[in-house]
Structure 1
Amino acid sequence: MATRLSDVAARAGVSVKTVSNVINDYPHITAQTRAKVEAAIAALDYKPNVSARSLRKGRSDFIALAVPEMGSPYFAELGAEISRAAKRRGITVLIDQTEGEAAAERFVLDGMRGQLIDGIIFSPITTAPARLTAADTGKPLVLLGERPAGGQFDHVAVDSVQASYDATTHLVSIGRRRIAAIGVGGGAGTGAVRRKGYRKALKAAGLPHDPALELAGTGYHRPDGAASMRELLALPEPPDAVFCFNDLLALGALRSLAEAGLRVPEDVAVVGFDDIEDGRYHSPSLTTISPDKEWLAENAVALLLDRIAGNGGSTHRDLTVPYTLQIRESTAG
């Protein structure tokens, strides 16, 4: 038989109301009384009824994080930071992997109907900006990533145009003149946004735009980067540098360069984006754009909890994540 609140009260020698007050972290409970109740809870292995507690408080203290894939080191690292930021505030994070599927992203934008959560942090991939603008989530929501918030939701993202400009300009500064880009895409997503910064840097340096040096690939994983790098090396005039739009693409490109017997950075310099742990320990270590993931997590969670509390007003807030260019062996030798 499950332990009841009255069982805890009897063991601690206090009223049921006092046990409830301790569980709900109400003030004005003496340290001695709190200790007795907590000891009784531990001894009886009492598990509070989350649903009933949520009805009383008007919230569950659960939030959702919806991302395309947890197998991606970037999203795994970011998810860990968001979980830590929420835990410090007494909030539990439930993770939903959308795999970038339209139906899964619609479910998120519909507020994950029926789920016991107070709000959502969401990194969309396939959802069009118009859909984001028209969405009626029914729950507070904070957007991450490149897609514009459409004036409705709070939004936290790196300035990918400027960051990509800085990454490409770094390659120019070390004397590279035939700079390729891997991960280019259309629409309003990551590839299109980072391509703007790449092209802007080429133009500022007086370098020609060569469409043959821009490869979209089929995805953003290591095999995609490796395949794109092989394609670039097959050109009549291969590149002397490559800017990959995430670190997984860069790690794949480094593999193809090694298989081709080319030296990095002497023959081809490589820059990535995201600063995942794998890139720091690769040989050569990877030069990359390093977003401040802890800052991103802290601010995304704070924005969401502010909305859950009914604060923030009607105007959406756009926060820009700080970043640095981490120069390592793939460009510095």
Structure 2
Amino acid sequence: MITTKDIAERLGISVSTVGRALADDPRISEETKFRVRQAASEMGYVGNRAARMMRGASSNVVGLVIPDIRNSFYSTIAHELSKNMEAQGFQLMLSETDDDRAVELRHLRELSANRVAGVIIVPTARPHTESVKLLRALPHLQLLRKHPSLGSQWFGVDDHEALRQATAHLVAQGHTRLGYLGGPVELPTGAERLKGFQDALREAGLPDEAGHAELGPPSSVEYGREAVRRLLDGPRAPTALVLGSVQLTLGVLEELSQEGVKVPEELSVVGFGDEPGFSWWGPGLTTIGLPIQEMATGCALWMMRRLTQKPSNDGPYTSVSPGSLVVRGSTAAPSGGTSPDRSG
């Protein structure tokens, strides 16, 4: 590894002069700075950020802790955050928890040990006490999910209203037997989405048995396939489905395609998220569009302000973005009250 000593020997100057030139010290002439930077570039020198931080320099790395990078919502958020932060001279470091609180703690320990400037986190359902302590020592904000122990800096979606509108759309078309697939109520997003589904049924005057919910891991495509099989094989198979996560939506669409279920003739479907392929899946998937770019930009601006301006008072801050119902061809009035024929 090339060091400042190697650069000094090549140029015939002192190591301290090299260090000051690389730090843009005003005591060093512009000519010397140019020579040092040119030599550093030619020799492949990479500065030791850890050493600079020990001398009081601040980190330019922000940690992003998410459950699952395979979920396009999170991968798109990561991309947008990275671009926004790069423009301000910051770098995004990605950590994936798979919704495991022990893995979450391990990543937070590493981020803290590397003295990141801040953390943006989609928390697990029950963060460890140590995770809470580590985050309290860092500028941080919560994304999508909100856990009360982690403070009140939060950017999220109005999950309740998004699911209420999606369910009301199906009810307005005449559906009285509806299924919902979503995450567990231990997750704040799971609880809000389920409540939105249930409230829409109550507002329409439908009995509790009009809706049946299957709750499980929201990042599991396979769970989506298994859950929709159970719903359609049940004694009161629904004529319409509302889905509460991107990965569950993918699993349901795979299963329906494999089983040859006709959408919307036999089953109406409202998905979650608006993947690039959703617009041309079958008749086009009616789905809940998510304000990804708006959320990513808001998160980045809040974090950049926090890190660059260092405000003395970090009061509570909440940003709730609305989802949007994108209506395509996968929803229609129930066909004579029939449900998918899976006897064959």
- TM bin, normalised by shorter chain, reads 0.7 to 0.9
Matched residues, percent identical? 26
Cα distance in 2, alignment partners of residues 37 and 170 from structure 1 = 66
Q: What is the identity, as a one-letter code, of the residue corresponding to 1:118?
A: A
Structure 2 SS opposite 1:277 = coil
Structure 2 SS opposite 1:147 = coil
Q: What is the identity, as a one-letter code, of the residue corresponding to 1:163?
A: A
Contact 1:143 1:149 in 2 (8 A): no
Please tell me whether Structure 1 or Structure 2 has the larger radius of gyration of its CA atoms.
Answer: 2
Cα distance in 2, alignment partners of residues 21 and 164 from structure 1 = 53
Partner of 2:22: 20
Contact 1:185 1:191 in 2 (8 A): yes
Structure 1 residues without counterparts, runs of 5 or longer: none
Partner of 1:103: 102
Cα distance in 2, alignment partners of residues 313 and 324 from structure 1 = 34
Q: What whole-Å deviation, never above 9, does each CA across 1:13-64 have from its counterpart, x for those lacking one?
A: 9x64773245x9x9xx98x998776554433322222223334453110111
Structure 2 SS opposite 1:210 = helix
Partner of 1:72: 71
Q: 256-265 or 144-153, which moves further after superposition? A: 144-153
Structure 1 position 171 matched with structure 2 position 170: yes
Q: What whole-Å deviation, never above 9, does each CA across 1:265-307 have from its counterpart, x for those lacking one?
A: 2221111222233434533432222222122112212222333
Contact 1:110 1:135 in 2 (8 A): no
Shift of 1:70: 1.7
Cα distance in 2, alignment partners of residues 298 and 96 from structure 1 = 20
Partner of 2:331: 331
Cα distance in 1, alignment partners of residues 38 and 57 from structure 2 = 27
Structure 1 position 304 matched with structure 2 position 303: yes
Structure 2 residues without counterparts, runs of 5 or longer: 334-344
Shift of 1:104: 2.4
Root mean square deviation, CA, Å: 3.5
Instruction: Map residues 153-172 of structure 1 onto 2, 5 A cutoff.
Output: 153-172=152-171
Instruction: Map residues 2-21 of structure 1 onto 2, 5 A cutoff.
Output: 2-4=2-4, 7=7, 16=18, 19-21=21-23
Q: 312-321 or 208-217, which moves further after superposition? A: 208-217
Structure 1 SS opposite 2:241 = strand
Contact 1:133 1:149 in 2 (8 A): no
Q: What is the identity, as a one-letter code, of the residue corresponding to 1:285?
A: G
Contact 1:9 1:16 in 2 (8 A): no
Structure 2 SS opposite 1:192 = helix
What number of residue pairs does the alignment pair up? 328
Structure 2 SS opposite 1:296 = helix
TM-score by length of 2: 0.81
Shift of 1:170: 1.9
Shift of 1:133: 11
Cα distance in 2, alignment partners of residues 278 and 33 from structure 1 = 56
Shift of 1:124: 1.1
Partner of 1:200: 199
Instruction: Map residues 159-308 of structure 1 onto 2, 5 A cutoff.
Output: 159-210=158-209, 213-308=212-307
Structure 1 position 58 matched with structure 2 position 57: yes
Partner of 2:320: 320
Partner of 2:341: none
Structure 1 SS opposite 2:293 = helix
Q: What is the identity, as a one-letter code, of the residue corresponding to 2:4?
A: R
Structure 1 SS opposite 2:46 = coil
Q: 187-196 or 115-124, which moves further after superposition? A: 187-196
CA distance 1:131–1:271, shift in 2 (3 Å)? farther
Shift of 1:313: 1.3
Partner of 2:151: 152
Cα distance in 2, alignment partners of residues 284 and 222 from structure 1 = 21
TM-score by length of 1: 0.83
Instruction: Map residues 41-52 of structure 1 onto 2, 5 A cutoff.
Output: 41-52=40-51
Contact 2:182 2:244 in 1 (8 A): yes
Q: What whole-Å deviation, never above 9, does each CA across 1:104-123 have from its counterpart, x for those lacking one?
A: 23345668431231111111
CA distance 1:71–1:123, shift in 2 (3 Å)? same
Q: What is the identity, as a one-letter code, of the residue corresponding to 1:214?
A: A
Q: What whole-Å deviation, never above 9, does each CA across 1:69-125 have from its counterpart, x for those lacking one?
A: 222222222222221121111111111111222222334566843123111111112
Cα distance in 1, alignment partners of residues 131 and 7 from structure 2 = 51
Q: What is the identity, as a one-letter code, of the residue corresponding to 2:313?
A: G
Contact 1:154 1:303 in 2 (8 A): no
Partner of 1:115: 114
Instruction: Map residues 121-140 of structure 1 onto 2, 5 A cutoff.
Output: 121-127=120-126, 135-137=133-135, 138-140=137-139
Contact 1:133 1:150 in 2 (8 A): no
Q: What whole-Å deviation, never above 9, does each CA across 1:120-146 have from its counterpart, x for those lacking one?
A: 111112326x95996453111111123
Cα distance in 1, alignment partners of residues 155 and 301 from structure 2 = 11
